[in-house]
Chains A and B, each alone.
Chain A
């Protein structure tokens, strides 16, 4: 077990190395002069030269890579071209709203989707099952920003149940936080509810055909316990896998959702950076989000061994 965990941790090193290499080469291999692109259409030759030095583009490529990696390992993500502040400082300022939105979305999705999936599996073939599956297909297809604008139109502008936009920290006022985070959470959750409900239904259905389920029923176990303990318990691994893979989509979704609901998080940082062509910020956020994805999937893989004693490496 310990050896497996150690091996799994070591296996993330090549993945991280590839991520770093891709991010590094993106800037260097892009067509044209990246310094000129970042400086914008109206930049003087002097400004372009300054950016080239700032990004280290005037040095040989291997030297650039080595010094960049060394700085990364010290947690130095570079300096914003526009504000001249360290990228890590800018990220630290914006990290709270994004983390909160991601957490509320994951919790809400699981709380809604897992019961829906179990229900659909228990009532397989009935109209309840069909309704859940149609909902899953639709929820999977409606883009989060389209759903977000419909929510704002209906629940914020129309019914006035929720504030239209913005963010409040839960550490200042929990009630205000919930009011502001509700619509973005539900909008962003749609796709994950669809995904998790589908996989839950499929896994539970598959397990319901197993011999031990027949045994449990034969010895008179109540159906609810058969479903929740025997079936769902054994369906946990595929469900957790989907949640882990969904993290990548969640990150993309958070960026857009923050833009729709005017939440001052990392997504807004990206959008502002796009408009100002502040490449060090975009680069820093790609590295950060990729790291989050890799670490979360590492944790999930290790969690398998705890969730399912049959998995032995």
Chain B
């Protein structure tokens, strides 16, 4: 057995050589994604240190000012500094993205493992998942937020629920493949108990695709949060999220388009970075799917 084949057998990762120009281009894109992500994470962590003021500080004398030395990106209709608010907006998006990814992956993983291994539950769980998937996620989240009142927590929960079915389907698909593997049959034959089989044999196979899925969920959650805030059913209006900033700037768009455009660019760049990162991870961790895309 060659060294590469041996490592492939052990890790499940097929060693890929950067053969073509396309691979190199993809590599550059992934690096760019990592760089943008790093900037956004640093901005969120160190927002108060980045030459920002009070994100909620009103200044009626400085309304709708163009960019200047004092206000790098200008001010909005209440005289609030747009640079400050855009930097602080990274906190909302990243928190929601990471929280929703963590929650939906954990809930989906447990549900998927149980559904994939216990046949009686499988049919019921999967029908429920089909039903939830049929409901447009944005609308389901809107309904949940408007019924329980907008807060950071309700927004995160409302975005998590529509993301769960896809995770469950993914985990279940892995379980159904793995349970037919000879080493799992051997473990069953040797009398290993079910919980141990799930943890020792099935779980490790779920992790690579789940890491990839987590990045896509994160990007999708940041998008949904912005949509909800933009439509008035998201993060409470007093918190400077990118969606809220865009919603508030709408009325002033013809005279001060930057109030809408700056947070919009920040949002688009962040989502782009996470998606690119997901593509890069998929190419590394999930070669079977990567080949298809």
A140–B279 Cα distance when bound, in Å, is 12
Contact between B127 and A286 (Cβ–Cβ < 8 Å)? no
Contact between B21 and A125 (Cβ–Cβ < 8 Å)? yes
A157–B261 Cα distance when bound, in Å, is 14
Contact between B131 and A22 (Cβ–Cβ < 8 Å)? yes
Contact between B131 and A157 (Cβ–Cβ < 8 Å)? no
User: Which of A29-37, A46-54, A223-231, A305-313 lines the interface with chain B?
Assistant: A29-37
The prevalent SS among residues of A at the interface is helix
A146 CB within 8 Å of chain B? yes
A88 CB within 8 Å of chain B? no
State the interface size on chain B (CB cutoff 8 A): 51
Out of B29, B227, B260, name the residue touching A149 (CB < 8 Å): B260
A146–B243 Cα distance when bound, in Å, is 10
A89 CB within 8 Å of chain B? no
Out of A14, A15, A34, A275, name the residue touching B147 (CB < 8 Å): A34
Contact between B139 and A251 (Cβ–Cβ < 8 Å)? yes
A137–B139 Cα distance when bound, in Å, is 25
Chain A stretch 84-121: residues in CB contact (< 8 A) with chain B? none
B226 CB within 8 Å of chain A? yes
Out of B134, B146, B268, name the residue touching A293 (CB < 8 Å): B134
The proximity string for A residues 111-150 relative to B, scoring 1 for CB distances below 8 Å and 0 otherwise, is 0000000000000110001100110011011110110011
Nearest B residue to A273 via CB reads B146
Size band of the interface chain A makes with B? 35 or more
Out of A142, A279, A289, name the residue touching B146 (CB < 8 Å): A279
Contact between B131 and A143 (Cβ–Cβ < 8 Å)? no
Contact between B253 and A149 (Cβ–Cβ < 8 Å)? yes
Contact between B139 and A14 (Cβ–Cβ < 8 Å)? no
Given A22-B132, A252-B136; A145-B230 close (CB under 8 Å): yes
Out of B135, B257, B293, name the residue touching A286 (CB < 8 Å): B135
B31 CB within 8 Å of chain A? no
Out of B25, B127, B233, name the residue touching A18 (CB < 8 Å): B127
Out of B127, B148, B264, name the residue touching A143 (CB < 8 Å): B264
> Within 8 Å CB of A146, what residues of B?
246, 261, 264-265, 267-268
Nearest A residue to B266 via CB reads A146
Contact between B268 and A289 (Cβ–Cβ < 8 Å)? no
A69 CB within 8 Å of chain B? no
> Within 8 Å CB of B20, what residues of A?
125
Chain B stretch 245-275: residues in CB contact (< 8 A) with chain A? 246, 253-254, 257, 260-261, 264-265, 267-268, 271-272, 275
Given A259-B231, A282-B146; A19-B131 close (CB under 8 Å): yes
A22–B135 Cα distance when bound, in Å, is 9
The proximity string for B residues 198-220 relative to A, scoring 1 for CB distances below 8 Å and 0 otherwise, is 00000000000000000000010
The proximity string for A residues 135-176 relative to B, scoring 1 for CB distances below 8 Å and 0 otherwise, is 001101111011001101100010000001000000000000
Out of B127, B144, B264, B275, name the residue touching A145 (CB < 8 Å): B264
B193 CB within 8 Å of chain A? no
> Within 8 Å CB of B132, what residues of A?
18, 22
B38 CB within 8 Å of chain A? no
The prevalent SS among residues of B at the interface is helix
- Minimal beta-carbon separation of B222 from chain A (angstroms): 9
Contact between A18 and B130 (Cβ–Cβ < 8 Å)? yes
A26 CB within 8 Å of chain B? yes
Contact between B25 and A134 (Cβ–Cβ < 8 Å)? yes
Nearest B residue to A14 via CB reads B127
- Minimal beta-carbon separation of A49 from chain B (angstroms): 19
B87 CB within 8 Å of chain A? no
Given A141-B271, A143-B226, A279-B147; A274-B231 close (CB under 8 Å): yes
Out of B149, B231, B253, name the residue touching A271 (CB < 8 Å): B231
- Minimal beta-carbon separation of A50 from chain B (angstroms): 18
- Minimal beta-carbon separation of A11 from chain B (angstroms): 9
> Within 8 Å CB of A251, what residues of B?
136, 138-139
A153–B260 Cα distance when bound, in Å, is 10
> Within 8 Å CB of A198, what residues of B?
293
A204–B88 Cα distance when bound, in Å, is 44
Contact between B231 and A129 (Cβ–Cβ < 8 Å)? no
The proximity string for A residues 29-68 relative to B, scoring 1 for CB distances below 8 Å and 0 otherwise, is 0111010011000000000000000000000000000000
B133 CB within 8 Å of chain A? yes
> Within 8 Å CB of A142, what residues of B?
268, 271-272
A97–B143 Cα distance when bound, in Å, is 23
- Most chain B Cβ neighbours within 10 Å, of A16, A157, A252: A252
- Minimal beta-carbon separation of A9 from chain B (angstroms): 15
Interchain Cβ contacts under 8 Å between A and B, 5 examples: A38-B147, A125-B22, A130-B21, A143-B226, A289-B136
Q: Would you list the 6 A-B pairs with minimal beta carbon distance, nearest first? A: A18-B131, A252-B138, A146-B264, A141-B272, A30-B147, A251-B136
Q: Which residues of A contact B (CB under 8 A)?
A: 14-19, 21-23, 26-27, 30-32, 34, 37-38, 124-125, 129-130, 133-134, 137-138, 140-143, 145-146, 149-150, 152-153, 157, 164, 198, 202, 206, 248, 251-252, 255-256, 259, 270-271, 274-275, 277, 279, 282-283, 285-286, 289-290, 293-294
